[in-house]
Amino acid sequence: MLRQYDETEVAAVWRRLCARLAPADPATGSRGGLLVEGTCDEIGRRHVWVALGPEGPRTVTFATRLGSLQRPSDLAERLPKALIHRNVPGEPVHAFLRDFDRAWAAAAPYASYGARQRWIRTVRDLAAHWPVTDGPARWRQGEVTVRWEALAPRG
């Protein structure tokens, strides 16, 4: 999706896009349509995206090619438009990335087993304090997904 709108327009654009998604169907258990909005670096090593359903934003996913990562906060430059300018002290996304870096540093001994093992340990520790919605199968791929409400901008 090509997104050509200002940060101040994110909420209105998301409402317009989500209004066009298939609604949830309790009879079938369907959660409705899904739109993924995010960005990645030029060669596809770092990605961050928001999953949007008919009800609005659901989750934020951080994904990386593990061998290219110095620290998790390197993903900050790929935050979606709704979060990119909120990576400042006092905002949840900033606290999340700070905690992610701390967990990464604490998991440094696992680096001797490879970047994947370090990432898995990092996310396991992070999940003790943040609402991580996925598990080790996704973590092994260099991904972690967090509930939107935990990272949503304040105010």
The residue ranges of every structural domain in the chain are: 7-151
DSSP 8-state assignment for residue 42: T
Q: Which of 77, 83, 95 is nearest to 10 (CA)?
A: 83
Which stretch of 7-11, 74-78, 101-105, 106-110 has the lowest confidence by average pLDDT?
7-11
Q: Which two tokens stand for residue 52?
A: 């949007």
Q: Could you tell me where the beta strands, DSSP code E, fall in the chain?
A: 35-40, 46-53, 56-64, 143-147
59: amino acid identity, one letter? T
**Percent of the chain with pLDDT strictly greater than 70:** 97
Q: Is the pTM of this model over 0.85?
A: yes
What pLDDT score does 3 carry? Answer: 60
DSSP 8-state assignment for residue 6: -
